[in-house]
Amino acid sequence: MNRQILLTPGPTPIPPESLQAESLPIIHHRTAEFVELFNETQENLKYVFQTREKVFTLMSSGTGGMECAVVNLVSPGDKVIVTACGVFGERWVKILNVFGANVVALRTEWGVTVKAAELEKALKDHPDAKAVFTTLTDTSTATACDILGYGKAVSKTPAILVVDAISGLAGQEMYMDEWQVDAVITASQKGLMTAPGLGFISVSPKGWAAVQASKSPRFYWDLRAIEKSSHDGETPFTPAVSLIRAVNASLKLIRKKGLPQVFQQARDLAKFTREEGGKLGLGLFAKDPCDVLTAFVLPEGVNGGALIKQIVKKTGISMAGGQEKLKGRIVRIAHMGYIQKADIEKGIRALSENLAEMRAAAARP
Amino acid sequence: MNRQILLTPGPTPIPPESLQAESLPIIHHRTAEFVELFNETQENLKYVFQTREKVFTLMSSGTGGMECAVVNLVSPGDKVIVTACGVFGERWVKILNVFGANVVALRTEWGVTVKAAELEKALKDHPDAKAVFTTLTDTSTATACDILGYGKAVSKTPAILVVDAISGLAGQEMYMDEWQVDAVITASQKGLMTAPGLGFISVSPKGWAAVQASKSPRFYWDLRAIEKSSHDGETPFTPAVSLIRAVNASLKLIRKKGLPQVFQQARDLAKFTREEGGKLGLGLFAKDPCDVLTAFVLPEGVNGGALIKQIVKKTGISMAGGQEKLKGRIVRIAHMGYIQKADIEKGIRALSENLAEMRAAAARP
């Protein structure tokens, strides 16, 4: 049996410290021990979010965190702008439509992001927009949005800037407060190097005014109740104790390493991955590539789905294929979190060998 | 340091098989290995729910499962009946009010449940009721509702019966299909002996008609999307892989033991706990007590909050106090899931010693 190597953009590999923390005998959440864990996790999350605001832990996947942002920040009928350059920008559009927002979608060719100047123009065209929803790194296309530029544009208006940083946080540079972001959402299983099952959200003071103003019905996602409980080191509903312990163990590793080093590692691995892919003749899909994963365009005639299945079967290495209209056309290799250079080397080798094999098979009469 | 003993009604102690499964190196969810796990967990959940229907896994606490039931089964303006004999019946009322239902609350004295005949009368008085929301065991008051009787009453009407079985499932007898229950909700951290973080829901064919008819906005909780993904052994959003592995390990233990034995053990431990409490002069709070936990009324003058804090500090044994209007007045000891008789013996001894000490201190001039 091959050791499994995950090069998928979530779940990502988990450090032993986090796995070990997850398997400790359970403790009750209304204890001094849990309150201490809760408060420590809070402080560590503030560091990775780069914010002075509280960061709230949700028992949900990242998409739950996105829904939490929508129902807390938007009322039915509110006009909102969405930048969409892939599946996850489109996910904002879907959720916002479900909850009755009036969505202005700024769509680009997939892999190309909306420029800050284009967003600025859209904000001028729609001065009644209450919020801008965007994505730090759209995992489906491996693109990075210009959050710094968006922050400058949005902060001059009454609108708030909401960033899905699910695959980007602690990988792609972003500083919530300094970059004037009003809400950031992430999840446990990407840059935070933990098992999936937790979502996180932080909201700026400007964002809190929207939370208070929102007329959307909400109970499980109600940030007002979640904030209130946090004063006692609690969540309103039973917290996922083992996952919180695990994420705190991973957060401590990030803090020990330092965010600048974490960002640098992602950049270095991105560079390495692209150079190695280039040697195989593989070009980048994204025109605005991000640091946390790389999407390579597959040669004509190669079935991406079959390639990925063959690689995992033969080598135990999991990569991701394309989603929706990119199905079969690209291969995505993550270099976020606990993924090591040696893993990527193995992945590139497997890609090289299996691509050659598929081409040879296709060339046979 | 004392070994921690949890006698709290969730989280409950976790068997080593489940802890160990949770700490395995992570796998990706779009693999044959995960699909096999997903399908096996599904079958094991059907067994504990006692249903032929699919049981869906949610990344949420139990309350998330309750919200999922409300938005999938009720449209704004729908009339619904709620039976409430404690905090968790009232939680149905709160969630249903938030999502715009027209709630008819059948409230009883806490600890006394609504009788099936009373529900039958309410259904006659409100023939336009679309649903009845109730609780298998209301943890706050340690009461059990007559789900069999409710099922008989509701099944004769067009309404559906929705049961919060979060603390009751795999402890308090209930057979979803046979008892004509249309939706059952539970969570991982009670009778299912797993870390908190997963919710579960199953819906009958009559319930599915309500899912299709519901006009409530929903995205993360949308059972139509969740059901569709389940055909491929998937969830629509990243599943909590480690928690699913863990709950499957615990479910296998339940299946090996057999549900009749699981129910019998809860009944036996309930009897034992009550006899031992009786020897200390402690009476039951609930007039309709359940099998999964016991609430004892504390003697006048004893501060329940202080008592519980003192016990956990001195002995490492966690018990639960009263919630809301019962704060300080009762002590609750769980006997569900992986809680052993020896743990309860230690708990009763600690209760006896600390009660005596507090009484002695109070008697001092």
Quick one: pLDDT at residue A1?
45
Give the minimum alpha-carbon distance from A192 to chain B in angstroms, rounded to a whole number: 14
pLDDT band at residue B356 under the 50/70/90 scheme:
very high
pLDDT band at residue A28 under the 50/70/90 scheme:
confident
* B149 membership: H or E segment, kind and range: helix B147-155
CA torsion sign for A254, A257, A258, A260 is negative
CB-based contact (8 Å) between B193 and chain A?
Answer: no
Could you tell me which residues come within 8 angstroms of residue A33 by beta carbon, excluding any fewer than 6 positions away?
A27
Give the minimum alpha-carbon distance from A201 to chain B in angstroms, rounded to a whole number: 15
Quick one: pLDDT at residue B157?
98
Task: Report residue B295 CA to chain centroid gap.
Answer: 15
CB-based contact (8 Å) between B5 and chain A?
Answer: no
Contacts of B241 in chain A (CB under 8 A): 11, 195-196
CB contact under 8 A, A242 and B22: yes
* B345 membership: H or E segment, kind and range: helix B341-363
Quick one: pLDDT at residue B2?
53
Q: Give A332's strand partners.
A: A295, A320
Both B207 and B325 in a single domain?
no
Of A283, A290, A81, which Cα lies nearest the Cα of A165?
Answer: A290
Q: Tell me the residue type at B135.
A: T
Both B233 and B277 in a single domain?
no
CB contact under 8 A, B238 and A13: no
CB-based contact (8 Å) between B64 and chain A?
Answer: yes
pLDDT band at residue B1 under the 50/70/90 scheme:
very low
Cβ-contact A183, A199 below 8 angstroms? no
Residue B222: closest CA among chain A residues belongs to which residue? Answer: A98
Give the minimum alpha-carbon distance from A19 to chain B in angstroms, rounded to a whole number: 5
Of A30, A63, A241, the CB nearest to B237: A63
Contacts of A100 in chain B (CB under 8 A): 217
**pLDDT tens sequence across A150-176:** 999 999 999 999 999 999 999 999 999
Both B248 and B126 in a single domain?
yes
Which pair of structure tokens corresponds to residue A79? 């006009």
Phi-psi bin for A301: left (phi > 0), alpha (psi -120 to 50), beta?
left
Lowest-confidence pick of A110-124, A200-214, A309-323:
A309-323
Both B265 and B250 in a single domain?
no
**pLDDT tens sequence across B64-121:** 999 999 999 999 999 999 999 999 999 999 999 999 999 999 999 999 999 999 999 9
Contacts of B189 in chain A (CB under 8 A): 26, 238
Segments forming the whole domain that contains residue A34:
16-256
Among the three residues B256, B273, B290, which one is the final residue of a domain in this structure? B256
The rounded distance, in Å, linking the Cα atoms of B103 and B161 is: 14
Quick one: pLDDT at residue A36?
96
The rounded distance, in Å, linking the Cα atoms of B183 and B150 is: 13
Residue A188: closest CA among chain B residues belongs to which residue? Answer: B240
Q: Give A183's strand partners.
A: A162, A203
Cβ-contact A110, A84 below 8 angstroms? no
Of B247, B328, B278, which Cα lies nearest the Cα of B12?
Answer: B247
Of A36, A35, A37, A42, which Cα lies nearest the Cα of A21?
Answer: A37
Please tell me whether the peptide bond between B11 and the residue prior to it is cis, using omega within 30 degrees of 0: yes
* B276 membership: H or E segment, kind and range: helix B259-279
Cβ-contact A80, A132 below 8 angstroms? yes
CB-based contact (8 Å) between A25 and chain B?
Answer: yes
Give the CATH number, domain containing residue A285: 3.90.1150.10
Lowest-confidence pick of B200-204, B271-275, B360-364:
B360-364
Give the minimum alpha-carbon distance from B240 to chain A in angstroms, rounded to a whole number: 5
CB-based contact (8 Å) between B191 and chain A?
Answer: no
Let me know the angle formed at the C-alpha of A299 by A296 and A300, rounded to the nearest 5 degrees: 135
Give the CATH number, domain containing residue B229: 3.40.640.10
Of A31, A197, A238, the CB nearest to B318: A31
Could you tell me which residues come within 8 angstroms of residue B179 by beta carbon, excluding any fewer than 6 positions away?
B147, B148, B151
Among the three residues B256, B276, B296, which one is the final residue of a domain in this structure? B256
The angle that helices A116-125 and A147-155 make with each other, rounded to 10 degrees, is 30
Q: Looking at the predicted structure, is the pLDDT value of residue A37 above 90?
A: yes
Among the three residues B238, B256, B274, which one is the final residue of a domain in this structure? B256
pLDDT band at residue A3 under the 50/70/90 scheme:
low
CB-based contact (8 Å) between B97 and chain A?
Answer: no
The rounded distance, in Å, linking the Cα atoms of A44 and A47 is: 5
Mean pLDDT of chain B: 96
Cβ-contact A129, A157 below 8 angstroms? yes
What is the pTM (predicted TM-score) of this model? 0.97
Residue B245: closest CA among chain A residues belongs to which residue? Answer: A195
Both A40 and A114 in a single domain?
yes
CB-based contact (8 Å) between A241 and chain B?
Answer: yes
**pLDDT tens sequence across B237-259:** 999 999 999 999 999 999 999 99
Contacts of B29 in chain A (CB under 8 A): 11, 196
Lowest-confidence pick of A42-56, B5-19, B116-130:
B5-19
The rounded distance, in Å, linking the Cα atoms of A199 and A63 is: 8
Please report where in the chains the tokens 């993360």 appear, as a residue.
Answer: B220
Q: Count of domains in chain A?
A: 2
> From start to end of chain B, where are the E strands?
5-6, 55-59, 79-84, 102-107, 131-135, 137-138, 143-144, 160-164, 183-187, 198-203, 293-297, 317-318, 330-334
Both A239 and A262 in a single domain?
no
Both A127 and A267 in a single domain?
no
Contacts of A24 in chain B (CB under 8 A): 19
Query: Does the model's ipTM exceed the 0.85 cut?
Result: yes
Both B95 and B191 in a single domain?
yes
Contacts of B23 in chain A (CB under 8 A): 19-20, 22-23
The rounded distance, in Å, linking the Cα atoms of A253 and A17 is: 9
Please report, to the nearest 10 degrees, the dihedral formed by the alpha carbons of residues A58, B8, A38, B91 taken in order. 40
B352 or A26, higher pLDDT:
B352
Of B23, B28, B100, the CB nearest to A19: B23
Provide the 3-class DSSP secondary structure of residue B289: strand
CB-based contact (8 Å) between A61 and chain B?
Answer: yes
Please report where in the chains the tokens 């059901």 appear, as a residue.
Answer: B227
If DSSP states are collapsed to H, E and C, what string results for chain A? Answer: CCCCEECCCCCCCCCHHHHHHHCCCCCCCCCHHHHHHHHHHHHHHHHHHCCCCCEEEEECCHHHHHHHHHHHHCCCCCEEEEEECCHHHHHHHHHHHHCCCEEEEEECCCCCCCCHHHHHHHHHHCCCCCEEEEECEECCCCEECCHHHHHHHHHCCCCEEEEECCCCCCCCCCCCCCCCCCEEEEECCCCCCCCCCEEEEEECHHHHHHHHHCCCCCCCCCHHHHHHHHCCCCCCCCCCHHHHHHHHHHHHHHHHHCHHHHHHHHHHHHHHHHHHHHHCCCCECCCCECCCEEEEECCCCCCHHHHHHHHHHHHCEECECCCHHHCCCEEEEECCCCCCHHHHHHHHHHHHHHHHHHHHHHHCC
Contacts of A217 in chain B (CB under 8 A): 98-100
**pLDDT tens sequence across B212-233:** 999 999 999 999 999 999 999 9
CB-based contact (8 Å) between A95 and chain B?
Answer: yes
Please report where in the chains the tokens 């919200």 appear, as a residue.
Answer: B67
CB-based contact (8 Å) between A29 and chain B?
Answer: yes
The rounded distance, in Å, linking the Cα atoms of B135 and A16 is: 40
CB-based contact (8 Å) between B15 and chain A?
Answer: no
Both A249 and A315 in a single domain?
no
DSSP state of B1: -
Of A31, A59, A217, the CB nearest to B61: A59
CB contact under 8 A, B67 and A239: no
Of A10, A23, A98, the CB nearest to B218: A98
Lowest-confidence pick of A157-161, A310-314, B60-64, B161-165:
A310-314
Of B273, B194, B266, which Cα lies nearest the Cα of B12?
Answer: B194
Interface test with B, best of A17, A28, A310 (most B CBs within 10 A): A28
Both B208 and B271 in a single domain?
no
CB contact under 8 A, A8 and B28: yes
CB-based contact (8 Å) between B196 and chain A?
Answer: yes
pLDDT band at residue B141 under the 50/70/90 scheme:
very high
CB-based contact (8 Å) between A310 and chain B?
Answer: no
The rounded distance, in Å, linking the Cα atoms of A123 and A85 is: 18
Both B213 and B283 in a single domain?
no
CB contact under 8 A, A94 and B11: no
Contacts of B185 in chain A (CB under 8 A): none
The rounded distance, in Å, linking the Cα atoms of A318 and A334 is: 10
CB contact under 8 A, B19 and A25: yes
Residue B66: closest CA among chain A residues belongs to which residue? Answer: A220
Both B265 and B168 in a single domain?
no
The rounded distance, in Å, linking the Cα atoms of A321 and A31 is: 44
